[in-house]
Amino acid sequence: MSGKPSRIDQAYTALKSAIIEQALRPGDKLPEDEVGQLFSMSRTLVRQVFSRLNAEGLIEIGGKRPATVAIPSLDDAVAAFEVRQALEREVITLVIKRWNPEHKAALEAHLAREIEAAKAGSAPMSIRLAGEFHTLLAEMSGNPLLSRFVSDVVSRCSVVLAVYGRPHSADCGVHEHRDIIDAIAAGDATSAWDLMRHHLGEVEARALIGSSEDSPRSLADMLSPYVEGGAGTKARPAKNRGRPRLQVVKENR
């Protein structure tokens, strides 16, 4: 479909997935050259990736400190959900206007994957799919700009859940997704709006107190599922140039 997933896009997608699935936790440091070695590209390219991630509020750069996974404040959290309400309301309006059977099929298929992930107990997959449901819906609006904004704000909300939410806080919204699909398919905008508002309110309400556990692993280990789609043996040279002790230090608070 898309011409070339130029390595910069690969790294962007990989980091984004890692953050959203909470393989990288808020506050974790992301040294430029280390990431560059993992994805086998130079610091300049890493900088571009970091720039995009920063624009979406996923990481924080600037100062002359190493880039860190963003730690949104409580104000940021409520702001993100406020904007999300407004955007997804418009999404519903447009999707109903342009509704067709293919949309329903795609949403049903996605919902099936969500249920499957929930049964398998795969928390990272559930978190990822819960967000992708909303971005998928946004793409059906036929408005690329709206889709981009929704993707942006959904990412921010994912980080908020990572900071303030309980673990496994995303796997109980599947039924709400089902109701939303049904309301949209019935063309009932008012019901769909209310359901969406309720749904997002539930998600927001789950953001209360976060349990922080310490699991000091290496950056390479955390990112191994995301680099080159496997154990990461292909892109990384077998002979690491004398740096066995690379390790991510968690922000102390």
- In the complex, the residues that contact its own copies under the rule CB under 8 A are 48, 51, 55, 57, 75-76, 79-80, 82-83, 85-87, 89-90, 94, 143-146, 149, 153, 156
Using DSSP's 3-state secondary structure scheme, residue 57 falls into coil
Alpha-carbon span 12 to 35, nearest angstrom: 11
Q: Return the residue of 11, 15, 19, 45 that touches DNA, per CB under 7 A.
A: 45
Q: Give the nearest distance from C-beta 27 to its own copies in angstroms.
A: 21
Return all residues near 40 (Cβ < 8 A) that are at least 6 apart: 7, 235, 236
Q: Give the nearest distance from C-beta 20 to DNA in angstroms.
A: 21
Which residue shows structure tokens 């946004």?
A: 138
Question: Nearest-5° angle of CA 33, CA 36, CA 41?
Answer: 130
- Of these partners, its own copies, DNA, none, which one is at the site of residue 151 (CB under 5 to 8 Å by kind)? none
φ, ψ of residue 58 in degrees (nearest 5) = -85, -35
28 or 88: whose CB is closer to DNA? Answer: 28
**Interface stretch with DNA, choices 33-41, 92-100, 119-127, 134-142 (CB under 7 A):** 33-41
Q: Give the nearest distance from C-beta 213 to DNA in angstroms.
A: 20
Q: Give the nearest distance from C-beta 85 to its own copies in angstroms.
A: 7
Q: Give the nearest distance from C-beta 136 to its own copies in angstroms.
A: 18
245 counts as binding DNA under rule CB under 7 A: no
32 counts as binding DNA under rule CB under 7 A: yes
Q: What's the Cα-to-Cα distance from 209 to each of 50, 148, 169, 204, 253, rounded to whole Å?
A: 28, 29, 11, 12, 14
Q: What's the Cα-to-Cα distance from 31 to each of 47, 128, 146, 180, rounded to whole Å?
A: 10, 25, 32, 41
81 or 226: whose CB is closer to its own copies? Answer: 81
